[in-house]
């Protein structure tokens, strides 16, 4: 997984920052609907409510997805990760559909977080 650069990096950082600010997610954790979609055939693999925690400060920026609390114990074997960082994972905020899309080069999945 390489660090994002240029416009992709700034757009990813801005997307997570906006996701954090719009909804004032300064609190601990909260539930969101997450769809996991295959990059290969665009099919939904998983559609579940999962607790997440967002951190966005000068020093740290990431979203933690707490798969285990949603009953998904083998998330790593599904190429899902607990922490997604906008410095390395492309994030796209779509305010029209109230969603944050997360793409990772280390996975054949796309995450759509509906809030």
Per-residue confidence (pLDDT) for residue 1, from 0 to 100: 65
* 3-class DSSP assignment, residue 38: strand
Task: Return the structure tokens found at 12.
Answer: 């990813």
**pTM, two decimal places:** 0.91
Q: Which fold has domain 6-114?
A: PH-domain like (2.30.29)
Stretches where the chain sits below pLDDT 50 are none
Per-residue confidence (pLDDT) for residue 23, from 0 to 100: 67
pLDDT tens string 86-107: 999 999 999 899 999 999 988 9
* 3-class DSSP assignment, residue 99: strand
């Amino acid at each position: 997984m390489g660090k994002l650069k240029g416009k992709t990096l700034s757009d990813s950082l801005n997307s997570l920052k906006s996701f954090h600010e719009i909804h004032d997610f300064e609190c601990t954790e909260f539930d969101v609907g997450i769809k996991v979609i295959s990059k290969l055939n665009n099919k939904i693999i998983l559609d579940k409510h999962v607790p997440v925690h967002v951190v966005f400060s000068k020093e740290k920026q990431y979203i933690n997805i707490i798969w285990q609390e949603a009953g998904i114990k083998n998330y790593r074997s599904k190429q899902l990760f607990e922490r997604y960082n906008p410095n390395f994972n492309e994030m796209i905020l779509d305010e029209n559909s109230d969603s944050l899309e997360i793409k990772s080069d280390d996975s054949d999945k796309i995450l759509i977080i509906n809030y």
